[in-house]
């Protein structure tokens, strides 16, 4: 792999000046030159006119209003008041549900809104008394393949220093008013459109006490056998400014776990035996989001991090991963730890602590919403990820023979490949509406995948072949 290193004496590595990306020209700069092989250079798929128009409707001013309104409820601690009309998590839940109902009213009946509530028993040190936890979920039903689901979420509960303090003001502007704003603004913009597959826009609660709301949501869906092919968690996506004032407004981190916590030891052993550790469904979802989400429409570069989450941290994508679904987490590039999980206060040096609206950047938050929007819509308009993909290993050959199951929604298929140490798919070979292809490149020397192409031109995430 080719990359630039700025190595100073004493082993110090200087960061290069931050580029302000407006295009995706970094994609192929990382591609290895070996092995040589067939196909053309993979050009990232681009949004169509409908998607481009939708993304232009994402409005930083509306994101600001959502965050300011959420903050106006004083505290949104999971144990705060559920019935007071003005203060506490119940007022926030009702407001989000009303807003989502308003969006659903524009959808011609395609969008429905559910307030999913369960009684959470006491959890030592986290939940002090039995507490109702509610997730607000707007579901935009797919017009072609309604059983295939993609989810975008943020959490509307908030916290201060003490996670069980449900009395004091806990503004939660960035953590995670920003993520709720992404889900709500996308629900508004997409409600009037007809995705082929189903999209769920969720505002969950109980995140701060251990992803309780998202665990209930994931388990409810998994127990019903839901076919969720992608989940995007937005948590702390509202500011690009570090504690020293450095800004990084055109990068968004995407945490992508490698081997899912749902895999058995036998599955993992099989995976390792063919070098597929970096080709899990989570990483394929990540590659897809990088490909479609880093461009002139979003004005963002999606920076994939090979890690479940930040060290010692977790989030609402993890309960979905635990149930076998591919899920990723978006978080701003520089977190300011004085602005999260902190009592609102000014210390003796005059420094302001707390997760206040004044520290938010609504334009940045809107660009993150566009990354999510482009990814969700491209996923929902494409056919699903190909199923039943295998690599033929019955004879020793220099070639690679792939077989898969036909999907009636696919107009055709593409084989994609990359050098095994490259991060992203670099080459593509159109193979047509077939279920078997032989590529004149050894499976020992490259990573292969197959993706489905719809009649509308949208392409699915790639599947990775296992042996029979
Ligand atoms: C919640 O607020 C309502 C209205 O202000 C009040 O009547 C009720 O006692 C509060 N509930 C709790 C548990 O504090
Ligand atoms: C939970 O919500 C239900 C339905 O609103 C209500 O009857 C019940 O009292 C609530 N329980 C708690 C512990 O707040
Ligand atoms: C946290 O708040 C709870 C009440 O909300 C209180 O019982 C507990 O003592 C507090 N913990 C600390 C460390 O202050
Ligand atoms: C495999 O490829 C190598 C290198 O191109 C070539 O020398 C060899 O003859 C090939 N073997 C077969 C069985 O085609
Ligand atoms: C496999 O590759 C060799 C060249 O290495 C080629 O001659 C042969 O026809 C290929 N076999 C198939 C089944 O495509």
pLDDT in tens, 353-365: 999 999 999 999 9
Ligand 5 neighbours by CB, cut-off 6 Å? 397-399, 438, 440
Residue 324 has pLDDT above 80, yes or no: yes
Establish whether residue 165 lines the binding site of ligand 3, counting it when its CB lies within 6 angstroms of any ligand atom: yes
pLDDT tens column, 98-132: 999 999 999 999 999 999 999 999 999 999 999 99
Q: What is the pLDDT of residues 208-252, one digit of tens each?
A: 999 999 999 999 999 999 999 999 999 999 999 999 999 999 999
Percent helix, strand and coil across the chain, each to the nearest 5: 25, 25, 50
Instruction: Report helix, strand or coil for 41.
Output: strand
**Ligand 3 test: best mutation among 81, 164, 209, most atoms within 8 Å of CB?**
164
Euclidean distance between CA atoms 174 and 182, whole angstroms: 11
* Residue 311, Ramachandran bin (φ over 0: left; ψ between -120 and 50: alpha; else beta): beta
DSSP 298-313: TT-EEEEESSSSSTT-
Query: Could you tell me the CA-to-CA distances from 271 to 274, 300, 465 in Å, in that order?
Result: 6, 32, 10
Residue 423 CA to residue 405 CA, distance in Å, equals 26
Distances (CA, A) of 97 to 105, 115, 185, 330: 12, 7, 13, 23
For 66-129, give the DSSP string: HHHHHHTTSB--TTS-SS-SSSSHHHHHHHHHHHHHHHHTTTTT-EEEEEEEEEEPPBTTTB-S
> What kind and span of H or E run contains 367?
helix 362-381
Q: Read off the pLDDT of residues 389-408 as tens digits, 9 standing for 90 and up.
A: 999 999 999 999 999 999 99
Instruction: Show Cβ contacts of residue 408 under 8 Å, excluding neighbours closer than 6 positions.
Output: none
The SS3 call for residue 376 is: helix
pLDDT, tens only, 63-102? 999 999 999 999 999 999 999 999 999 999 999 999 999 9
β-pair type (412-419, 427-432): antiparallel
Q: Which atom of ligand 1 is nearest to the CA of 86?
A: 5
Is the CATH number of domain 4-34+387-467 3.20.20.80?
no
Q: Ligand 4: distance of its center to the CA of 315 in Å?
A: 49
Query: Which run of H or E residues covers position 372?
Result: helix 362-381
Q: By C-alpha distance, which of 392, 383, 384 is closest to 439? A: 392
Q: pLDDT tens for residues 430-445?
A: 999 999 999 999 999 9
Burial class (CB in 10 A: 0-12, 13-18, 19+), 207: buried
Which two structure tokens, joined as six digits, stand for 342?
Answer: 């902190």
Kindly list the protein residues whose Cβ atom lies closer than 6 A to any atom of ligand 2. 82, 119, 130, 132
> Which segments of 204-280 does DSSP mark as H helices, in order?
212-223, 265-273
Give per-residue pLDDT as tens, 284-312.
999 999 999 999 999 999 999 999 999 99
Q: Which atom of ligand 2 is nearest to the CA of 82?
A: 14
Structure tokens at 16: 């290069």
Q: What does residue 63 show for φ and ψ, rounded to 5 degrees? A: -60, -40
Among 3.20.20.105, 3.10.20.600, 3.40.50.2000, 3.40.630.10, name the CATH number for the domain at 49-381: 3.40.630.10
Mutate to test the pocket of ligand 5, among 398, 403, 440 (most ligand atoms within 8 A of CB): 440
**Other beta carbons within 10 Å of 222:** 17
Q: Contact 376/53 with Cβ under 8 angstroms?
A: no
pLDDT at residue 31, rounded to an integer: 77
> How high is the pLDDT of residue 10?
43
- Ranges of CATH 3.40.630.10 domains, the chain: 49-381
> In this predicted structure, what is the pLDDT of residue 28?
66
Beta strand 251-255 with 327-331: parallel, antiparallel or unpaired?
antiparallel
pLDDT at 263 over 90: yes
- pLDDT of 11 strictly over 70: no
Angle between helices 60-71 and 362-381 (to 10 degrees): 110
- What pLDDT, on a 0 to 100 scale, did the predictor assign at position 33? 85
Nearest CA to ligand 3 atom 4: 165
Helix (H) or strand (E) holding 370: helix 362-381
């Amino acid at each position: 792999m080719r990359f630039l290193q700025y190595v100073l004496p004493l082993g110090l590595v200087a960061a290069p000046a931050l580029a302000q990306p407006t295009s995706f020209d970094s994609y192929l700069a990382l591609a290895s030159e070996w092995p040589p092989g067939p196909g053309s250079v993979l050009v990232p798929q681009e949004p169509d006119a409908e998607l481009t128009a939708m993304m232009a409707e994402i409005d930083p001013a509306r994101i600001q209003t959502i965050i300011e309104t959420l903050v106006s409820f004083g505290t949104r601690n999971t144990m705060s008041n559920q019935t007071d009309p003005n203060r506490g998590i119940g007022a926030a839940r009702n407001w989000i549900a009303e807003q989502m109902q308003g969006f659903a009213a524009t959808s011609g009946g395609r969008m429905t809104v559910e307030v999913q509530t369960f009684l959470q028993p006491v959890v030592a040190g986290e939940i002090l008394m039995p507490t109702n936890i509610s997730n607000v979920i707007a579901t935009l039903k797919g017009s072609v393949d309604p059983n295939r689901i993609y989810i975008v979420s943020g959490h509307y509960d908030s916290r201060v220093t003490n996670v069980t303090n449900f009395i004091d003001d806990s503004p939660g502007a960035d953590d995670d008013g920003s993520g709720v704003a992404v889900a709500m603004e996308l629900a508004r913009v997409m409600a009037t459109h007809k995705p082929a597959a189903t999209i769920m826009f969720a505002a969950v609660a109980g995140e701060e006490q251990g992803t309780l709301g998202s665990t209930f949501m994931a388990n409810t869906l998994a127990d019903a056998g839901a076919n969720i092919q992608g989940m995007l968690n937005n948590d702390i996506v509202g500011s690009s400014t570090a504690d020293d004032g450095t800004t990084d407004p055109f990068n968004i981190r995407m945490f992508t776990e490698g081997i899912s916590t749902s895999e058995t030891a036998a599955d993992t052993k099989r995976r390792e035996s063919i070098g597929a550790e970096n080709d899990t469904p989570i990483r394929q979802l990540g590659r897809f989001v990088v490909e479609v989400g880093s461009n002139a429409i979003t004005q963002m570069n999606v920076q994939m991090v090979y890690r479940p989450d930040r060290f010692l941290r977790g989030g609402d994508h993890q309960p979905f991963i635990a149930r076998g679904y591919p899920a990723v987490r978006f978080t701003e590039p520089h977190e300011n730890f004085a602005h999260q999980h902190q009592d609102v206060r000014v210390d003796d040096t005059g420094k302001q602590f707390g997760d206040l609206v004044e520290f938010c950047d609504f334009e940045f938050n809107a660009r993150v919403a566009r990354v999510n929007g482009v990814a969700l819509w491209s996923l929902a308009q494409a056919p699903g990820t190909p199923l039943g993909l295998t690599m033929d290993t019955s004879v020793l050959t220099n070639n690679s023979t792939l077989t898969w199951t036909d999907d009636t929604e696919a107009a055709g298929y593409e084989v994609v490949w990359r050098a095994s140490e490259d991060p992203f798919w670099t080459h593509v070979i159109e193979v047509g509406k077939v279920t078997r292809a032989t590529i004149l490149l050894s499976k020992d020397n490259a990573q292969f995948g197959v993706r489905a192409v719809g009649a509308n031109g949208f392409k699915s995430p790639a599947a990775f072949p296992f042996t029979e």
